[in-house]
Chain A
Amino acid sequence: MDYRLELRNVSKSFGEVQALENISFGLGRNEIVGLLGDNGAGKSTLIKIITGYHPPSSGEILFNGQKVDHLTVPKARQLGVETVYQERALAELQTLWRNIFLGREITNRWGFLDVAKMRDETYRLMNQSMGFTSLAVNPESRVRNFSGGEKQGVAIVRALYFDAEIIILDEPTMGLSLKETARLITFVRDIKRAGKSAIFIDHNVVHVYNASDRIVVIDRGRIAGEFLTKDISLDALMEKMIRVAETGSLD
């Protein structure tokens, strides 16, 4: 299969702790993959390898079939990976526009910021994509005062703005209200419609099932199994998840 992103035999250990063991994983073009697994199964570690934050201890990473060595965060972003992190990766004392352009400031070639452009873009994004209509929220607002959903909105819009090809959502529903969660699921489906790929990680099996084409189950640092959502019912999937948590095996 022609993968947008592929991991081959990737392992990662932190000192004595083996976080990931021989993971082989592919993300197809225009595919939404749901990543399920219990706390500490290795989901976040896997994500941070894909985003270049952690180097793998062994194994290969391929983008569009090309092997990439020494992946770093800026390199991954160049390759079109954008991430909405569990911890949201915001700088809460800073203004909204600084958060939108965090690590990717619009500058001239001497590194001087184009503040007016970043403010205008932020204003446009807020209205068009984030649906922030409240007057209290403007490009100069400090992110600290935002609600959980608004903060998540900032993290998501930031990922979209930079023309991502692969969008990674790490526990995006954490701390969201029901309405905000529904909007997020719609958003994941929009990624699919826009022809892009996504990896969607969540605790909530229902959310993942509803938004994904394929589900990969991770347990104790290994891939325990994968299913196409069209081939498995939600009930059967739930049953398997519980079995994995108890016995470490799907069947």
Chain B
Amino acid sequence: MSSHTDEVTHGSGRANRKAFSLGRFARTHGPQLGILAVFFGLWIIFIISAPTTFLKPQIYNAFMSTVPFFAIMAIPLTMLVIAGEMDLSFPSIMAMGMVAFLLTYGATPGITSASLRVVLAFMAALLAGTAIGWLNGFIIVKFGIPSLVATIGTQFFWRGAVLVLSQGKSGTLSYVKESFLHSALVGKIGGSFPTQMIWLVVIAILGWILLNRHKFGAHIYLIGDNANSAELMGVNTKRVRVQAFMLIGLLSAFAGVIASFHVVYFWPSLGEGHLLSTLASVFLGGTSVFGGTGTILGTFIGAFIIGAIEAATVAVGLTGFWTELIYGLIIVLSVIMHAYLRKRVE
């Protein structure tokens, strides 16, 4: 191609992109606009009904402190669901990562630097999470088992492994406080801003890049949309799916470490409360359970809605008994909204 035609091509391409229309923007970003509307709508309701709580920064620091524990897992879970897969075992992976952490820490008393021991233990946790994710993926693609079923199984298996290996004992992690890793993962910047929020934002941005600007993400969308087409066109669907399971394994172990560091304590039941809030974040964010569509931004906002509901119900003067009812209501209404938007958009 001569440089002249090149220029013409680029010119027309740019002209094409310039033809911006509000309708098209709304169509392409419908689900994200929808969840943003829900988010701001709820926020305004919260502020009006409990101004003393929602106009002070403390409540937001509290959200940013606790939401990342499950939102960090909701990012890779979004990718998995877009690919048409499911993982129910990530709460157990959180705990298994911490078991790997404890075992590694316990096995290295010869190392005098406590910081180094903690770093090694941290690496072991991430490695264990990735390996368990790989095993999930391997079982699913090798034997062709639906991931929903396979991960129900592995969820029990790894929770069982946690209980066996820890003998069901919980324990303090006070030694990690001496390590720089503690402040790097869950410290407070300026005395109040939780570091885990920065990790969440970094992971969300990297997740967005991976999903939207990398071949891996392109293949995730294609597999969830039409796995047969993807295979016919030469996409290695098995490898990509295994990689997606490895990614959620890695980040679940990471979330397990920061959740444990946050309370400086290890519970063998670590992660059990996070299954539904993580899943809800993904679906609230507009990711389709049928695969092929979904966004990181939607999940990110979904996680904060989930995180805010509990605090909000109490702050507006309702008893804690109302929390789950309102949870359920907002999730069902949002999912209906997404289904409606999807129909309108496509």
Are A and B physically bound partners?
yes
Which residues of A does B touch, CB under 8 Å?
51-53, 72-74, 77, 83, 85, 87-94, 98, 102-105, 107, 111-113, 115-116, 119-121, 123-124, 127, 138-140, 142, 144-145
Report the 9 A-B pairs with minimum CB-CB distance, sorted nearest first. A103-B233, A120-B13, A73-B234, A91-B225, A89-B229, A93-B292, A103-B234, A89-B232, A74-B234
Contact B233 A92 (CB under 8 A): no
Contact B9 A113 (CB under 8 A): no
Contact B226 A127 (CB under 8 A): no
Contact A123 B346 (CB under 8 A): no
B203-246 contacts to A (CB < 8 Å): 209, 213-216, 218-219, 221-222, 225-226, 228-235
Q: Do A119 and B13 form a contact, CB below 8 Å, given A98-B222, A102-B233?
A: yes
Contact B213 A112 (CB under 8 A): yes
Contact with A along B11-26 (1 / 0, CB 8 A): 0110011010000100
What are the residues of chain B within 8 A of A53 when measuring CB–CB? 231-232
Contact B221 A91 (CB under 8 A): yes
Contact B222 A102 (CB under 8 A): yes
Q: Do A87 and B228 form a contact, CB below 8 Å, given A94-B221, A119-B13?
A: yes
Q: Do A115 and B213 form a contact, CB below 8 Å, given A93-B346, A98-B218, A127-B12?
A: yes
What are the residues of chain A within 8 A of B28 when measuring CB–CB? 140
How far is it, in angstroms, between the C-alpha of A73 and the C-alpha of B225 when the chains are bound? Answer: 19
Q: What is the number of residues of chain B that contact chain A, defined by CB distance less than 8 Å?
A: 31
Q: What is the distance, in angstroms, from B79's C-beta to the closest C-beta of chain A?
A: 15
Q: What is the distance, in angstroms, from A62's C-beta to the closest C-beta of chain B?
A: 21
Q: A95 — nearest CB in chain B belongs to which residue?
A: B28
Contact B234 A72 (CB under 8 A): yes
Q: What is the distance, in angstroms, from A130's C-beta to the closest C-beta of chain B?
A: 14
Known: A91-B229, A107-B215, A138-B19. 20 other contacts (CB 8 A): A53-B231, A73-B233, A89-B228, A91-B230, A102-B222, A102-B233, A102-B235, A103-B230, A103-B235, A112-B213, A112-B215, A113-B213, A115-B213, A120-B10, A120-B13, A124-B9, A124-B13, A139-B16, A140-B28, A145-B346
